[in-house]
Structure 1
Amino acid sequence: MLSPRGRALCAAALAALTSASLITGCTTRPGAAADGRGPARFEHQTLAWHRCADGPKDTEGTALDRAGARCAEATVPLDHRRPEGRTLTVALARLPATDTAHRHGTLFYNPGGPGVPVRVLALQLRAAEPELAARYDVIGMDPRFVGRSTPLDCGWPSVSIGSAGTGRAGFERTVARARDLAARCADHRTELPYVSTRDTARDMDVIRAALGERRISYLGSSYGTYLGQVYTQLFPGRTDRVVLDSTLDADTYGPDQTAALGPAVTRALRHWAAWAAHRDRAYGLGSTTGEVMDSVGELNRAVARAPVRLGAHTVDSGNLPQLLWNVTAGDSDETYAGYAADVRVLLRAARGDGADPTPNLEQALTALAAPDTDGTFAVQTASQCADRAAASRDPETYYRDIRAHRADDPLFGPLTRTVTPCTFWPAAPAEPPTAVRNDVPLLMVGDTGDPAAVYQGQLAAHRALRGSRLVTLRGAFRHTVYGGLFAPRNPCVEHAVNAYLTTGVLPSRDSTCRN
């Protein structure tokens, strides 16, 4: 299992760089197609539960088995609107409620992504929230094309396109890489339109029916909040208790959603800089917030002039913003200390003082240089491309945006505003984006300084989800606030979520917690 800092870094990176008509109901028709070719055959299927481990080397499956989980594979249509066509398998794990006498029901869990396997992450939820695990069977479902579900692998040689850097040459590098990655998925163009969140939500509902549940509860964070919103829109009568942690704005979710995140990440960077300034004796990055930010600026200018060697790796204007993005991993002392150590080592290397990478930098740089061996980045991208078309297919649009924001977004703008593979994607979305407007009762939690689900977007989602209540954590700069899964615990937030999941009673009004 990952360390707390490792989990936080992983979650933040995935959540942040995972760069319409009103839908009023499900497109499947329960009970239709008595000939066995329609949706009823999926909803009435019998799930064959079995041990989770595929063999002695399957550590994740073994961990699930030891926890008493059972695993299964559900059959779902590739295109839910044409259930007589090709099918896929979706893998899931079920952790039974530990207090069967007080079991309330089944809770689906999705901690973010897209493109993240969820089966084994259900174990982290049970460990973090035993009160929740006592009352619910927890379902960890690997979304379609992810993890143990039917795979989709484009054979990508890298896991990102990086930042456009400071000039035209860096931008052209990102264009060439994005174009190449998109072309490598062309052989899957018949599947690409169905790697969508809408289809994942429909898969969830097939599994709900196969489990024999009239309604399900749901806990989602980061991207999982978008999946939860889509599910409540498509199936408003099939949810029980729903919690959305760090809610994304459904109206802007898609391949270009990261474009405006740079200023929010910079605010989180300044918060860390204030923390580091109070510990100048330990880190030597500056005794004021401004001085620490100047140190980061010095580092950015240095790699723009020439790439910097760090151990066996090269740090340049293409990957430095990705390394510095890890400030979004959370605002605990432990996480901030690790980030300060990273910045200190990077500065020493940029100044020619000689330095070896910290373990975290070693891991991050190795991962950024590695191929997409398990297809995670390709599926993450494919999901965003299937949910909403890119804002523009003209690369010049993105270059003009980067240049327009050089002054106010100099560090992260070239990373978040550049092209993505969706700019050149070989398949269009099968459906319009999901317009989320409903009054399904649910609880939202989040914080004002969230660098990945910006607070204005959370408020927009709150307005669209008319039946929601919002608990806001003020004074925090973290992405996700519940359960201590990827950020520090807050007792006030914990109490609000657990009280709702235990009783089913929403707070009477919105409320505020303090960090």
Structure 2
Amino acid sequence: MVGRVRLVVAGVLAVAALVWGAPGATAEAEPWFYRQRVEWTACGDRALDDAGAQCAGIVVPLDYSRPDGRTLTVGISRLPATDPDRREGILLSNPGGPGGPGLRMWLNLGASLSPEVRSRYDLIGMDPRGIGRSDRVNCAVPLPTMLFSAGFDVFGYARDTTLAAALAGSCLAPDPEKVRYITTRNTARDIDVIRGALGEPRLNYLGVSYGTYLGAVYTQLFPERSGRIVLDSNVDPDRYWLGMFQDMGPANEAGLDDWADWAARHDADYHFGTTGPQVRAFVEDVIRRAASHPIASDGYLVDEHTVPMMLLALLLNPRLNPDLAEVVRMVADGVSGLPLDMERLKSKISAAVPLETSGMAAVMCDDRAAPHDPAWYYANIDRARPTQPVFGAFANNITACAFWPDPLEPPTDVHNDVPVLMLQATRDTRTAYAEGLALHRRLPASRLITLADTRIHGTFRVGLSPCVNDHVNAYLSTGTLPTADTTCQPDPSYFPD
């Protein structure tokens, strides 16, 4: 009888370790999904297969408090270490979003890794639960995004409120049990299952944007299993997700001014104005004209609700300055009555923001409760308009989360001493620099690499800053953090003239 009680207690502790991230799960007591056999096959994706990647499905519980209940299958990819004799483990990644599929992430980002790092790690890509190949959530309302600008008046705001409510209902209705468990905490648990199923004692991880929040949550739930962790373009856990959007308002107004100065220097090409203020005035006029002359085609809408989002999509990297100029010219001509190539316009935007609306809605709304009163959002929009004429109505707008049930778990309180290498650009338009500083304070054993005077989201890139890349590769190679926070400069040749 005593032996049976001990077995029961061991099983309860193992499940508790999975649900709450507490230490104590031993190899003998680990649940079945940690011990599953991983079968690698061809990915059935030309880009991955041509790169020599393999893919697999990892079975995880839908609800970790019911480990023998319903399951999901999480799709992962692997690019093997280039020198098996020197292999040290896995390096798993997340591209952000939430809503970003990640199976292909290393096809581009891997070029920033040094040959030394590539020799040591299997690079693991992942579609988080509810996204891509990982039992994708499908909302019945086919919106290209869940994020809109509220427009200029209460009537436009009422339209967005109606759309947000319809999107929420269409996401929840098809499979309410499944959609409620598409959360960051559960994705962090999935990542730990992947680690265990692949036979690794520790997880090495590189996350970008929302992927920094996911990585921070992992370090909080599984500190003893956290290996070398790199977080690029960071989210303040206190401001995820509502405050994060509000922070994007001022950051993108500044980004628009920066782009406007560039466009003014190229007035001979674009004819928006010869000074930054003239270019900004041109853009604001285009938005007003889009409100009067909206264009709809193939389920895509160009109006005062969507044009600010097109600008936001392309302000994340100065290398996209010419693309943004082309989009502004296309929209300006279209609202003036000239032909508009809608497919080309869509391709410019979707290439910059490859997110899945359904997955984004599920993760954000299941992670953190949102205010339910539409008047709360509209009051914030009105307060923001004077200083944020283009982006304030987006940054404070209502979303589907206002019509979502409250989360099943509380948000994760991130405070731990896991060593982490953090990267942050001072003029990031998606995750404001202050957010990176806030997470840095919550992770006192972390080191922060600041990329100075740079409007960019995602600093670990080929050619952007050898200084940043050297710090990342040195840490991944040795496991040793810099002795102090430091500041890097970008390579001027990375940006357009």
* Distance 1:311-1:377 versus aligned 2 partners, 3 A rule: closer
2:152 to 166, 176, 196: 166
Deviation at 1:337, TM superposition (A): 1.6
Residues 184-193 or 498-507, more deviating: 184-193
Matched, 1:82 2:60: no
* Distance 1:256-1:189 versus aligned 2 partners, 3 A rule: farther
Partner SS, residue 487 of structure 2: strand
Correspondences of 1:221-300 after superposition (within 5 Å): 221-255=208-242, 257-300=244-287
* Distance 1:255-1:456 versus aligned 2 partners, 3 A rule: closer
Quote the residue 2:302 is aligned against.
Answer: 315
Correspondences of 1:208-219 after superposition (within 5 Å): 208-219=195-206
Correspondences of 1:25-36 after superposition (within 5 Å): 26=21, 30-31=25-26
Percent identity of equivalent pairs: 42
Partner SS, residue 477 of structure 1: coil
Matched, 1:338 2:338: no
Deviation at 1:29, TM superposition (A): 5.7
Deviation at 1:192, TM superposition (A): 2.8
Letter in 2 for 1:363: S
1:380 to 360, 366, 378: 360
Residues 429-438 or 340-349, more deviating: 340-349
Quote the residue 1:419 is aligned against.
Answer: 398
Distance 1:28 1:236 in 2: 8
Residues 248-257 or 488-497, more deviating: 248-257
Deviation at 1:359, TM superposition (A): 6.6
- Give the TM-score normalised by structure 1: 0.85
Quote the residue 1:469 is aligned against.
Answer: 447
Quote the residue 2:164 is aligned against.
Answer: 178
- The C-alpha deviation readout for 1:166-223, integer Å capped at 9, x for no partner, is 0111101001111111111233322233111000000111111111111121011011
Distance 2:248 2:68 in 1: 42
Distance 1:500 1:477 in 2: 25
1:141 to 97, 109, 126: 126
Partner SS, residue 118 of structure 1: coil
* Conserved 8 A contact 1:156-1:378: no
Matched, 1:512 2:490: no
- Give the TM-score normalised by structure 2: 0.88
Quote the residue 2:379 is aligned against.
Answer: 400
Deviation at 1:30, TM superposition (A): 2.1
Distance 2:254 2:359 in 1: 30
Matched, 1:460 2:438: yes
* Conserved 8 A contact 2:450-2:488: yes
- The C-alpha deviation readout for 1:75-115, integer Å capped at 9, x for no partner, is 11111122122111111111110122332221111111222
Distance 2:406 2:297 in 1: 41
Distance 1:375 1:304 in 2: 26
- The C-alpha deviation readout for 1:289-326, integer Å capped at 9, x for no partner, is 11111111221222234436899975321211112213
Distance 2:445 2:72 in 1: 34
* Distance 1:496-1:171 versus aligned 2 partners, 3 A rule: same
* Conserved 8 A contact 1:179-1:424: yes
Distance 2:294 2:356 in 1: 28
Partner SS, residue 318 of structure 2: coil
Distance 1:461 1:453 in 2: 11
Deviation at 1:449, TM superposition (A): 0.2
Task: Give 5+ residue unaligned stretches, structure 2.
Answer: 1-17, 491-497
Distance 1:177 1:268 in 2: 28
* Conserved 8 A contact 1:311-1:356: no
* Distance 1:31-1:497 versus aligned 2 partners, 3 A rule: closer
Deviation at 1:31, TM superposition (A): 4.2
Quote the residue 2:423 is aligned against.
Answer: 445
* Distance 1:312-1:222 versus aligned 2 partners, 3 A rule: closer
* Conserved 8 A contact 2:421-2:446: yes
* Conserved 8 A contact 2:95-2:101: no
Quote the residue 1:67 is aligned against.
Answer: 51
Residues 132-141 or 237-246, more deviating: 132-141
* Conserved 8 A contact 2:314-2:349: no
Partner SS, residue 76 of structure 1: strand
* Conserved 8 A contact 1:258-1:416: yes
- The C-alpha deviation readout for 1:380-418, integer Å capped at 9, x for no partner, is 11101111011x101111111111222111211222211
* Conserved 8 A contact 2:19-2:65: no
Residues 117-126 or 403-412, more deviating: 117-126
Distance 1:375 1:98 in 2: 30
Deviation at 1:255, TM superposition (A): 4.8
Letter in 2 for 1:304: A
* Conserved 8 A contact 2:74-2:134: yes
* Conserved 8 A contact 1:452-1:479: yes
Distance 1:28 1:152 in 2: 31
Quote the residue 1:200 is aligned against.
Answer: 187
Deviation at 1:507, TM superposition (A): 0.5
Letter in 1 for 2:156: G
- The C-alpha deviation readout for 1:321-370, integer Å capped at 9, x for no partner, is 112213323012xx212212222333334445x354487524357999xx
Residues 273-282 or 199-208, more deviating: 273-282
Deviation at 1:278, TM superposition (A): 1.6
Partner SS, residue 224 of structure 2: coil
RMSD of aligned residue pairs (Cα, Å): 2.6
* Distance 1:467-1:82 versus aligned 2 partners, 3 A rule: same
Deviation at 1:375, TM superposition (A): 9.7
Distance 1:474 1:78 in 2: 42
Quote the residue 2:494 is aligned against.
Answer: none
Matched, 1:479 2:457: yes
